[in-house]
């Protein structure tokens, strides 16, 4: 296991060894370094504080005090705790009939791409997905989804140009679906900022109308401190059932994953790892923990 953070802490402890026994104060200093690492990885301030408070006891324990490489030991404890939190009660998608999945999130997070990626994945599992374009705002959003749907050979519902009412579009799409022999419907929605109450309300209405089994919040791995507000607001409005973390093919440390998971308790179900539609898969908590701690 290699980590700059672990190395740094080991060096600190090694110097201390010369002075005698490792004290609780030394461990407190190590915890401060861990806190810095979490904040630099974009874990939200309050989440980082709470998380360290909770894991502190284990990090202060005998296994660390007696270990040859206490720095590495402490980092490992945090790594395992992060992985456990991120992976806690991760479950698959609920696709019981009528299987409807609503895809929501901030502007540009990757919703449309994720909708198509998910459709492809479900199709490869032997299901018959249908895509529905419910973004009536962004220019050419319907074209974008339709192009992707064609690439993967999945039927797509395209609202009539000029449609403005998403609930009406969803109703038409349900009508259309009767003729399609699909087994699961995926609804792509327009991007919105969580502080935009009118747009959040529109999403709430669509959610109430569809009663989807799954409501997936799509979030960019590079999201900063606002991840907490974003996840909480969307969750309160449309009861998120899972999170999809996108753009993990970049080098963002991805602390937003920890923030969102901590404050909503909702599992991170999938991750996006590229622009191509097959660059998508189940979220791997251990890898994410390594990433957040810079390992």
Partner 1 sequence: TKFSRSSRIDWEELEAELVAADIGIRRAMGIADQLKESKGLDAENLVESTREVLRRAFPSTAPSLPAPPEGKPLVILVVGVNGTGKTTSAAKLAHLLQKQGSRVLLAAADTFRAAAVEQLQSWADKLNIPICKGAPSQDPASVCYEAHTQAIREGFQYLICDTAGRLHTRHNLMEELSKIRRTLAKQDASAPHSTLLVVDATTGANALAQAREFHKATPLDSVIITKMDGSGKGGVAVAIMDEMHISPSFLGTGEGAEDFEPFNRDRYVDSLL
The 182-201 contact track toward ligand GTP, x by CB under 6 A, reads: --------xx-x--------
Separation between Cα atoms, residue 23 and residue 60, nearest integer Å: 9
* CB 106, min distance to ligand GTP, A: 7
Between helices 70-87 and 285-292, what is the axis angle to 10°? 130
For residue 46, what are its two tokens? Answer: 């309050």
238 SS3 class = helix
User: Which secondary-structure segment (H or E) carries 4?
Assistant: helix 4-19
Between helices 24-40 and 4-19, what is the axis angle to 10°? 160
Give yes or no for a contact between 288 and 87, defined as CB atoms under 8 angstroms apart.
no
φ, ψ at 163 (rounded to 5°): -60, 145
Task: Name the segment binding Mg ion (CB under 5 A); options: 17-25, 97-105, 107-115, 173-181.
Answer: 107-115
User: Which of Mg ion, ligand GTP, partner 1, none sits in contact with 262, Cβ below 5 to 8 A by type?
Assistant: none
Of 6 and 216, the one with the shorter C-beta distance to ligand GTP is 216
Of 111 and 121, the one with the shorter C-beta distance to ligand GTP is 111
Give yes or no for a contact between 11 and 71, defined as CB atoms under 8 angstroms apart.
yes
User: Which of Mg ion, ligand GTP, partner 1, none sits in contact with 39, Cβ below 5 to 8 A by type?
Assistant: partner 1
Q: Looking only at residues 263 through 282 of this chain, which bind partner 1 when binding is defined by CB under 8 A?
A: 275
Of 132 and 141, the one with the shorter C-beta distance to ligand GTP is 141
One of 158, 229, 286, 294 touching partner 1 (CB under 8 A): 229
Task: Name the segment binding Mg ion (CB under 5 A); options: 110-118, 167-175, 198-206, 232-240.
Answer: 110-118
One of 223, 262, 264, 271 touching partner 1 (CB under 8 A): 223
One of 1, 14, 15, 40 touching partner 1 (CB under 8 A): 40
- Residue 260 interacts with partner 1 (CB under 8 A)? no
* CA-CA-CA-CA torsion sign (193, 194, 195, 199): positive
Separation between Cα atoms, residue 119 and residue 274, nearest integer Å: 16
One of 139, 162, 178, 198 touching partner 1 (CB under 8 A): 139
Q: Which residue has the tokens 């991170």?
A: 268
User: Which of Mg ion, partner 1, ligand GTP, none sits in contact with 105, Cβ below 5 to 8 A by type?
Assistant: ligand GTP
DSSP string over 71-127? HHHHHHHHHHHHHHHHHTT------PSSEEEEEEESTTSSHHHHHHHHHHHHHHTT-
CA 156 to chain centre: 25
Compute how many residues bind ligand GTP; rule: CB under 6 A: 21
Q: Which residues bind partner 1 (CB under 8 A)?
A: 36, 39-42, 45-46, 106-110, 137-141, 143-148, 151, 193-196, 220, 222-226, 229-230, 247, 249-253, 255-256, 275
Binding site for Mg ion (CB under 5 A): 111-112
Contact set with ligand GTP (CB under 6 A): 105, 107-113, 135, 138, 141, 190-191, 193, 246-247, 249, 272-275
């Amino acid at each position: 296991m290699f980590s700059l953070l672990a190395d740094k802490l080991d060096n600190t402890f090694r110097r201390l060894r010369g002075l005698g026994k490792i004290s609780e104060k030394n461990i407190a200093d190590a915890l401060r370094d861990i806190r810095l690492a979490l904040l630099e990885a974009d874990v939200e301030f309050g989440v980082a504080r709470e998380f360290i408070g909770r894991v502190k006891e284990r990090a202060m324990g005998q296994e660390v005090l007696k270990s040859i490489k206490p720095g590495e030991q402490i980092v490992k404890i945090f790594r395992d705790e992060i992985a456990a939190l991120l992976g806690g009660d991760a479950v698959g998608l609920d696709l019981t009939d009528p299987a409807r999945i609503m895809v929501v999130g901030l502007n540009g997070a990757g919703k449309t791409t994720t909708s198509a990626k998910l459709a492809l994945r479900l199709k490869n599992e032997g299901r018959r997905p249908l895509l529905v374009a419910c973004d009536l705002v962004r220019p050419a959003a319907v074209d974008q989804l339709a192009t992707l749907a064609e690439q993967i050979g999945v039927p797509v519902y395209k609202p009539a140009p000029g449609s403005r009412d998403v609930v009406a579009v969803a109703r038409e799409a349900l009508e259309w679906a009767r003729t399609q022999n699909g087994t699961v419907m995926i609804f792509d929605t327009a991007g919105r900022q969580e502080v935009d109450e009118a747009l959040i309300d529109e999403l709430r209405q669509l959610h109430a109308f569809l009663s989807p089994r799954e409501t997936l919040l799509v979030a960019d791995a590079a999201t900063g401190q606002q991840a907490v507000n974003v996840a909480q607001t969307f969750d309160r409005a449309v009861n998120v059932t899972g999170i999809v973390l996108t753009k993990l093919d970049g080098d963002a440390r991805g602390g937003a994953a920890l923030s969102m998971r901590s404050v909503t308790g909702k599992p991170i179900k999938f991750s996006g790892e590229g622009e191509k539609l097959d660059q998508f898969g189940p979220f791997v908590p251990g890898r994410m923990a390594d990433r957040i701690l810079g390992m």
